[in-house]
Structure 1
Amino acid sequence: MSSPNKPHGPIARFEHQVPGMHRFNLGNFQITAILDAHTTLKRETLISYDGKQAQEALGKLFRPLPTDGFVIPVHCFVINTGEKLVLIDTGGGEGFSSSPYSLHDNLDRSGFKADDIDVIILTHLHGDHFGGLTTKTGEARFPNATVKLHRLEYDFWHDDSEKEKASDTPYGSNFDAARSAIAPYTKQAELLEQDGEILPGIETILLPGHTPGHMGVMLRSEGKEVLMWADLVHHTVLQLANPDWSMAFDTDPDLSRQTRNKILDKVSRERIAVLGSHLDFPGFGHVAKEGKGYRFYPVPWQYTL
């Protein structure tokens, strides 16, 4: 006979979400999406923002219009090619946000060690993409990794004249942090001059505008492909419904708009799957044309690998 229920006090609620990670296969590649953090976009960071249009786009997907900014995720991706472990971006690092977890916590939980990473692809040098490169004391967290980034990107953030011109911009404070983060990897860095394959099945593609050397990464294996477009889109709903909305911290908002529209047209027309640094976790899905804009369709959870 079962015992009667014992009286008890209030049941405590959990304070944190579970760690974010998701694996899926792309041909012979296995991709692990890792949630590094979340951050909040203020409305004023969206150039051409229109509250009525935002409310309409969000309402179609049963999402409320927030009053205190838009929460977006920060993702990193580990690509297991079978021969190499490739990490795309390193998240915001320690103290980046109030998220209880970070790339390095979830890297361990995903079964990887920082020492095992062979190649790091930095899509661009913004703090939420390079912050995890180093410890608080400035030491390299990935001692065995070759770091690949575009030469245009490296040169821009190391140019004192550009730093001076940007002193009053939203990204002006990023110059010193970018230089400090990349400094421990000077001997391990490879600056890319043009689009092309950097490893079998892994191709970098310049997607300028957000920053001068902002890159996407095309992954291809066994006839399947996915474009990791980095920061082409920051808000999954608003910038797809309104692709002309650029960001205040784009170094060239107009070029960013042009690049975004070009790529959105291409991936929707050619039905190319996409990954994004700030798309709703795990950031994997397809884009389809809808009205004057687009809509994101996430790929369902993969139950088997």
Structure 2
Amino acid sequence: MFLTDDTLQPTSEKPKDLVPSRYALRIGDIDAMVVSDGPLPLPTTTMATNADPADLANWLGQMFMPPDKYDWPLNVMVARSGDQTILIDAGLGGQFPGFPRAGQFPQRLAAAGIELESITDVIITHMHMDHVGGLLVPGIKERLRPDVRIHVAKAEVDFWMSPDFSRTVMPNPVPEVLRSTAKSFYKEYRDRLQIFEERREVAPGVVVRRTGGHTPGHSVVDLVSGNERLMFAGDAMFPVAFDHPDWQNGFEHDPEEATRVRLALFRELVQSRGLLVAAHLPFPSIGRVAAEGDIFRWVPIIWDF
């Protein structure tokens, strides 16, 4: 079981995090935990590149969000199934000076009583820097087990050998940083990669499957045990997607395919009534998807504590 209760601190010691940064739950026999890696400040123009600016401004106003820049949440997950401990995505890391509040997952795992040395498997939903950068922090690789298995889709690895940014709409410095980070990740961990084509059961009830869209090898992770299920959807959806699933994000390498994938996953979640976690939904990012005609609705869980 995860250590989910904070150890009482002497009154002279102040906690490093003033708000909760992890949330634990069980999916049947699988222990799961969502961990916040911290927020990424991004321009709002990347949120919906094909939307009328007035429509986007109206949506931002309705959501009480600033018009120019917003904090993009960043979540990772840990799951325990049988004797395996699986890290799902690895956050941003600390090597990007423009995002000083992100890159928190190693110390937050430690605060939850989860040692990096205990991780048997890592699933990478895709190789953007905010999903693999945490593995490039100095000292992290040395703490991982030498036999750790890192699961990533073949289409994703192939794409980053010569990535195409022609259909993305990112801030100017970002593509080169994404390219160099993916290259560094592959160089550092190529001997530990467990490359799959379309689907792999990583542990009992823990399945990663390729969806494509956001990137060619983008994948989601299903946790299924008994009658309970949870999907970690990576970057398949963002907060605006429930109201406007056809709005395209500037970080999507194939915007039309990403829209198709997003709608298909929404419909799947409506039918299954399973839980959803996504990398960029507000922490703890746990809820369900309901449908009202052609409109989808996010239904967050009520915290259990």
Q: Which band: TM-score by shorter chain?
A: 0.7 to 0.9
Change (3 A) 1:225 1:181: same
Q: Structure 1 43/101 Cα, relative in aligned 2: closer, same or farther at 3 Å?
A: closer
Are 1:225 and 2:226 matched, yes or no? no
- Residues 54, 65 of structure 1: 8 Å contact kept: no
Q: 1:72/1:168 Cα in 2 relative to 1: closer, same or farther (>3 Å)? A: closer
Measured on the aligned residues, the alpha-carbon RMSD in Å equals 2.5
User: Are residues 1:156 and 2:164 paired?
Assistant: no
For the Cα contact (< 8 Å) 1:115–1:143, is it kept in 2?
yes
Counterpart mapping for 1:87-236 below 5 A: 87-96=87-96, 97-99=99-101, 102-136=104-138, 139-144=141-146, 145-159=148-162, 162=163, 170=170, 172-173=175-176, 174-234=178-238, 236=239
Alignment size in residue pairs: 283
Structure 1 residue 172, shift from structure 2 partner: 3.0
Gaps in structure 1 of 5+ consecutive residues: 1-13
TM-score between both structures, scaled by the size of structure 1: 0.84
Distance 2:143 2:28 in 1: 30
**DSSP-derived class of the 2:77 partner:** strand
Give the alignment of 1:274-285 within 5 angstroms.
Answer: 274-285=276-287
Find the counterpart in structure 1 of residue 27 from structure 2.
Answer: 26
CA 1:259–1:297: 2 relative to 1, 3 Å: same
Cα offsets for 1:15-56 (capped at 9, x unmatched): 974350110111111111100010123222122234554465
Structure 1 equivalent of residue 253 of structure 2: 251
Whichever residue aligns with residue 182 of structure 2, its letter is A
- SS at structure 1 position matched to 2:175: coil
Asked if 2 retains the 8 angstrom alpha-carbon contact of 1:241 and 1:292, the reply is no
Contact 1:133 1:182 in 2 (8 A): no
Structure 1 residues 168, 292: CA separation in 2 closer, same or farther (over 3 Å shift)?
A: closer
Report what 1:48 is aligned to.
50
Q: Helix, strand or coil: the match of 1:254? A: helix
Q: How far did 1:197 drift?
A: 2.0
Whole-angstrom CA distance in 1 between matches of 2:266 and 2:168: 31
Deviations 1:253-285 (A, max 9, x none): 111011111111221233222111111111111
Judging changes above 3 Å, is the alpha-carbon distance between structure 1 residues 54 and 190 closer, same or farther for their aligned structure 2 residues?
A: same
Is the partner of 2:74 in helix, strand or coil? strand
AA partner of residue 247 (structure 1): N
Contact residue 132 and residue 141 of structure 1 kept, 8 A: no
State the alpha-carbon separation in 2 of the partners of residues 188 and 29 from structure 1. 24
C-alpha distance in 1 between matches for 2:247 and 2:167 = 23
Q: Is the 8 A contact 1:219 1:225 kept in 2?
A: yes
Match of 1:9 in 2: none
CA offsets per residue over residues 103-122 of structure 1, 9 Å max, x none?
A: 01101001111111000000
- Distance apart, 1:182 and its partner CA: 2.8
For 2:21 and 2:88, the matched residues in 1 are separated by: 16
Aligned to 1:11: none
Counterpart amino acid of 1:105? Q
Q: Is the deviation greater in 121-130 or in 225-234?
A: 225-234
| Cα distance in 2, alignment partners of residues 108 and 254 from structure 1 | 40
Give the TM-score normalised by the residue count of structure 2: 0.84
Quote the Cα distance in structure 1 between the aligned partners of 2:216 and 2:201: 20
Matched residues, percent identical?
26
Q: Give the C-alpha shift of residue 241 in structure 1.
A: 0.2
Secondary structure, in 3 states, of the residue corresponding to 2:39?
strand
Distance, in Å, in 2 between the alignment partners of 1:110 and 1:80 is 14
User: Deviation above 6 Å: which 4+ runs of structure 1?
Assistant: none
Q: Tell me the amino acid that sits aligned with residue 81 of structure 2.
A: T
Q: Which amino acid aligns with 2:189?
A: Y
Change over 3 Å in CA distance of 1:40–1:293 after alignment to 2 = farther
Distance 2:141 2:272 in 1: 43
Q: 1:140 to 1:19 in 2, by over 3 A?
A: farther
2:33 is aligned with what amino acid?
A: T
Which amino acid is 2:230 matched to? V
Contact 1:16 1:100 in 2 (8 A): no
Residue in structure 1 matched with residue 272 of structure 2 by the alignment? 270
In structure 2, distance between residues paired with 1:101 and 1:176: 18
